[in-house]
Amino acid sequence: MKRFLLAAAAALVLGACASAGTGGPGLQGQAVLKDKAGRQVGLGTFTEDSDGLRIEVTGVGLAPGPKGIHIHAAGKCEPPDFVSAGAHFNPAGKKHGRFSPEGAHAGDLPNLIVTPVGAAGLDVTTKAATLKEGVPASLFGAGGTSLVIHALPDDEKTDPTGNSGGRIACGVITRK
């Protein structure tokens, strides 16, 4: 039964991955999230329009519970620890955490919630980052950026990482 539920969740999530971010005009990007073994465990889709940058993340096969998820400042995802992705994307030099009184990193996102069967989803819009080129907040600036899932929840206040633990999945953000 558990195997069936996991397969059903994976089918639903992967179906959502295939359709995520396809509607409407605007700039688009994506990040294929892979774990340290190179298995695809998720997809991040980035769509920019007049409301800001919409980030949709789906995942499968992840350990249950909340996970920190951030945009990181380097477009590299070298396993097994993904430290090649660098620090959080922070072009404005802010402190970490969505609840920081000094402002958050542009790469700070709400926690990714993973269900008991390993499926995950996040849908958030931000004005702190952009897909437009030639501006400091661009995800496509020099060296690019990546999307990283962490092992633990982000406490959304502790600088510089939110105590979100090791990096368990990573995907370079590319134009779509």
Q: Contact at 8 Å (CB) between 60 and 157? A: no
Q: Is 54 designated active site?
A: no
User: Catalytic annotation on 150?
Assistant: yes
Q: Which residues contact 101 (CB under 8 A, 6 or more apart)?
A: none
Predicted pLDDT at 12:
42
In the set 35, 54, 105, 154, the catalytic residue is 105
State yes or no: is 108 an active-site residue. yes
Task: Name the active-site residue from 3, 35, 98, 150.
Answer: 150
pLDDT of residue 30: 98
What residues pair up with 147 in beta bridges, in sequence order?
Answer: 71, 171
154 is catalytic: no
Mark the ranges of the chain whose per-residue pLDDT is less than 50.
1-24
Q: List the catalytic residue out of 35, 54, 154, 167.
A: 167
Q: What does the angle CA 136 – CA 147 – CA 111 come to, to the nearest 5 degrees?
A: 105
Q: Which of 116, 67, 107 is nearest to 88 (CA)?
A: 107
Task: From 171, 92, 164, select the one nearest 127 (Cα to Cα).
Answer: 92
Quick one: pLDDT at residue 43?
98
Known catalytic residue at 70:
yes
For residue 159, the model assigns a pLDDT of 67
* Structure tokens belonging to residue 147: 């999307």
pLDDT of residue 71: 95
> Catalytic: which of 51, 96, 98, 159?
96
Q: Is 175 a catalytic residue?
A: no
Q: Which of 70, 123, 154, 175 is catalytic?
A: 70
The pLDDT assigned to 168 comes to 97
Domains belonging to the chain, first-starting first, are 2-175 (2.60.40.200)
Residue among 35, 54, 108, 154 flagged as catalytic: 108
Q: What is the pLDDT of residue 5?
A: 35
Q: What was the pLDDT predicted at 15?
A: 44
